[in-house]
Chains A and B, each alone.
Chain A
Amino acid sequence: MTDAEQEIVLLSLRVALLAVGASLAPGIGIGWLLARWRHPLRPLLQGLVMLPLVLPPVVTGYLLLFALGRSRPLGEAWHALTGGRIAFTTGACVIAAAVVGFPLLVEAIRISMLAVDPRLEQVSRSLGRGPFHTFFRVTLPLSLPGVAAGAVLSFARALGEFGATIVLAGNVAGETRTIPIAVYTLLNVRGGEAAAVRLVLVSVLLALGALLVSFWLSTREPRS
């Protein structure tokens, strides 16, 4: 691999890690809401969270651009706050990857929290522990394998993100050119095929590794 290719792989890894890192806390919160919240609005929330899974990624990217573009309220607020922009930066790659990987993360967390016996939470409350302590000492530890599996899965999804990224972040070498975008670019260049194949290989290995880790995690029981 050339230095340029290594840089592309490192950028991809960094984007995917940041995307998962940023979605972990909200993913746990929403996963818990979807597992435990009894409210007529819950299906709507679930639908919104799942939407990026079924929307064409290009559409997701367009919607994000629509919300975060320079002339939009959110983009403007960001500009006023930092003097920078969101679209067409590494940050945009992270946002696109996070949004597209979010349903996988939330669904894994939701399912593992559903499997936690709510009576354990009741016992915790009756032993004098409030809802926060109960969540962090009972619910979360018991659903940790699912949280980890979901994180790995959404990490793998983030590595492969193309459609939303190309719309929201474009194709800026060294800044937004992740593995899939680089492969697409190389395939359109005469003589780029060898480099494309090397990146494809790395891509396959990373994805397979992540899947194996996620399978292993989801079959593990919480420590005892």
Chain B
Amino acid sequence: MRHGANGALEIEVGIRHRLGDFVLDVELATDGPVLGVFGASGSGKTTLLHAIAGLIRPDAARIVIEGRELCARPGGVWQPPERRHLALVTQDALLFPHRDVRGNLVFAPGARDRLASDDGRRILEVLRIEALLDRGVRDLSGGERQRVALARALLASPRALLLDEPTSALDAELSRDVLGLLRQVKQELGIPMVFVTHRAAELLALADDCLVLEGGRGVAQGPPIEVLRRPRALGTASLAGVDNLLRLPVSSQDPEGGVTILDLGAGASLRVPLHEAGAEGRLDVGFYADDVLLFLERPRGMSARNALDCVVRSVEGVGPEVLVGLRVGARDIHARVTAAAADELSLRAGLPLVAVVKTAAIHVLGER
């Protein structure tokens, strides 16, 4: 593969581009290997990605990837997209409808040979494509289409993948599946990525470095968990979905049960998918506020492993939804429910509740 052996991705970008009233104005330098670009819709994420891919010609831009100047405008170098070796994967898989799965996979130059090589077989294996090879693309499911799109991009042997919200057209379960595959692609195939998303949990799960965009400007950059904890970035996050980010000590491991038990303080604990503890015996975990269910009483006969006693600290209406602040053990988490559900439960500060979170809904981010 073409990228460096360590999988790092050195990117230097300076872009100024006007689109009607909107101005994208971004300065960025990163070592990757996975750069997350985070922001609400309309923040300029896709425009930035298209500029890096060479699909738009910015008014003024300098883009350098791994020491190679791809673009210096106005008046300088212009590498067309096909010479940049940056493969784009979008929200809709955008498979070529007139080709079957195999025809899509071998589309890029050299992809036919690569498909038959060990690298190619590894890609098919990781993305579970073998069984799909001779299918037409019209009857693939959403998750299958996205896996084929990823394989097609990887078989182009790119320097880096450019991912434009690759999970947002999928339902929650499929998007977790694709996110897991992306982590595998990152870890096992070592491909650097620029990853655009409006979901904080995806950023935490995948990105090493993170740029937060707001109204076309970069407002923060750094490791995701730090960037998202900054109040300014959380302003952005609340537009897209407040997420629960916790750094917790590991209290015990249960390999047979497939869970790691984390200490929430004050005797409460959180069961998360089995994961080795980090250097200081801690783990970073994240989960969507939507994935927290609220009950007035402890439910019985339940598959979810986490039923946490908690107390309501705040109830805040956000459009048709209600964001509920909860105290669990010695920590604060958020749940999001509909206004109707909040009425029915008569949610108010001080009310004791049971918060239920599926173990599988919790992303372990490791310790950074």
Contacts and interface: CB of A to CB of B under 8 A. Distances in A.
Interface of A: 117, 119-120, 122-131, 137-138, 141-142, 221-224
Interface of B: 50, 53-55, 80-88, 90, 92, 94, 96-100, 107-109, 136-138, 152-153, 156, 162
Q: Identify whether the interface residues of A are mostly helix, strand, loop, or mixed.
A: helix
A220 B273 CA distance: 50
Contacts of A223: 98
5 contacts: A119-B92, A125-B80, A127-B107, A128-B83, A222-B98
Contacts of A221: 97
Contact of B87 (A126, A130, A137, A142): A126
B98 A126 contact: no
B97 A125 contact: no
Contacts of B98: 141-142, 222-224
Nearest to B92: A119
A75 to B, nearest CB: 43
Nearest to B152: A127
Contacts of B108: 127-129
A224 B96 CA distance: 9
Contacts of A141: 98
A123 B90 contact: yes
A219 to B, nearest CB: 16
A144 B109 CA distance: 23
A71 to B, nearest CB: 48
Contacts of B83: 128
Given A124-B107, A125-B55, A128-B156, A224 B100 contact: yes
A37 to B, nearest CB: 16
Contacts of A137: 107
Contacts of B109: 128-129
Contact of A120 (B94, B136, B162): B94
A130 B94 contact: no
Nearest to B86: A126
Given A125-B55, A138-B96, 18 more contacts: A119-B94, A120-B94, A122-B50, A122-B53, A122-B81, A123-B90, A125-B82, A126-B81, A126-B84, A126-B87, A126-B88, A127-B88, A127-B108, A127-B156, A128-B108, A129-B107, A142-B96, A224-B138
A119 B97 CA distance: 13
A127 B99 contact: no
A48 B96 CA distance: 34
Contacts of B84: 126
Contacts of B88: 122-123, 126-127
B53 A126 contact: yes
A125 B158 CA distance: 12
Contacts of A131: 80
B87 A127 contact: yes
A119 B89 CA distance: 11
A223 B50 CA distance: 30
A126 B99 contact: no
Contacts of B94: 117, 119-120, 123
Nearest to B110: A128
Task: Report, nearest first, the 5 A-B pairs whose CB atoms are least far apart.
Answer: A126-B88, A125-B81, A127-B108, A222-B98, A224-B136
Contact of B55 (A117, A126, A138, A224): A126
A224 B137 contact: yes
A99 B297 CA distance: 81
B97 A142 contact: yes
Contacts of B97: 142, 221-222, 224
Given A117-B94, A119-B94, A224-B99, A130 B82 contact: yes
Which of A125, A142, A222 is most buried by chain B, counting CB atoms within 10 A of its CB?
A125
A124 B107 CA distance: 8
A141 B96 CA distance: 10
Contacts of A122: 50, 53, 55, 81, 88
A174 B90 CA distance: 60
A36 to B, nearest CB: 14
Contacts of A224: 97-100, 136-138
Contacts of B80: 125, 130-131
A118 to B, nearest CB: 10
Contacts of B85: 128
Contacts of A129: 82, 107-109
Contacts of A117: 94
